[in-house]
Amino acid sequence: MAKWKGRKWDAVFFDFDGVILDSVGVKTEAFAKLFRPYGPKVEKAVVAYHLAHGGVSRYVKFCYALEELLGEPAGEARLESLGRAFSDLVRQGVLEAPIVDGVMASLEMLQCQGIPAFVVSGTPEDELKQVVEERGLASFFEEVHGSPRTKCDIIESLLMSYGLTPSRCLMVGDAMTDYLAARKTQLHFLGIVSSKSSSPFPKRTKVSTSVAL
């Protein structure tokens, strides 16, 4: 079993952007570009909402931008169009994004010890699996899951499927969405916080600038 700060884990759940790949900036810029034609006020508000809701599906953020900021309907066709445009904007940047410090050593350690690792992300699942595959990371993960399912739903399903005890599992994330999912599913939590940013997590939350298990 893997150890971290004196604890042992039966499985580790990872968010993706900002935890496996340093790709948050790529997606922030994509939101800015998508809504830049509507003026700087809207662009700034969309980016602020995106940053305040890390780990939330991009489609939820599109709905907010359209309905709350622009007063426009968030119909299925419009959302699909924005989704395709967003994917086109981020694809190359995500494929080129650096891996977060400590990730490879941690994944190799988990694999060596036969401990299952899972990706639980807000990125659309098909896109996420393709990126994981193209970055050569697929062999390190037992399963890779993304939206439209929520992180809580994914975690609960995996806990049941693998017969895992929540108190013996760890969630690694960089956003409050990850923290809240860990709390709701009773996992332990490690927050990844960039050295350039302040922690978004409650006091006494265990945090690190690298993924060191």
Convert the pLDDT of each residue in 66-109 to its tens digit.
999 999 999 999 999 999 999 899 888 898 999 999 999 999 99
Residues 88 and 118 in one domain: no
Given this model, what pLDDT does residue 6 score? 54
With respect to residue 204, please indicate whether it lies within any of the assigned structural domains. Answer: yes
Residue spans of alpha helices (H) in 5-75: 24-35, 40-52, 58-63
Q: How far apart are CA 95 and CA 23, in angstroms?
A: 9
Identify whether 86 is part of a domain.
yes
Q: Which pLDDT does position 4 carry in this prediction?
A: 59
End-of-domain residue from the set 96, 118, 152:
96
Are 133 and 151 members of one domain?
yes
- Beta-bridged to residue 11, according to DSSP, are 169
The pLDDT value given to residue 2: 53
Is residue 127 domain-resident?
Answer: yes
Same domain? 204 vs 113: yes
Q: Note whether 128 and 194 are same-domain residues.
A: yes
Residues 146 and 179 in one domain: yes
Per run of 10 residues, the mean pLDDT along the chain (length 213 residues) is: 66 96 90 94 95 86 95 93 91 91 94 95 94 96 95 97 96 94 96 86 91 84
How many independent structural domains does the chain possess?
A: 2
- Could you give the CA distance from residue 186 to residue 170 in angstroms, rounded to a whole number? 9
The CATH number that applies at residue 198 is 3.40.50.1000
Range(s) of the domain holding residue 200: 2-22+100-208
Which of 96, 120, 151 finishes a domain?
96
- Given 77, 96, 115, the domain boundary residue is 96
Per-residue model confidence as pLDDT tens digits over 111-127? 999 999 999 999 999 99
- CA-to-CA distance for 167 and 67, rounded, in angstroms? 40
Residue 29 lies in a domain: yes
- Is 33 inside a domain boundary? yes
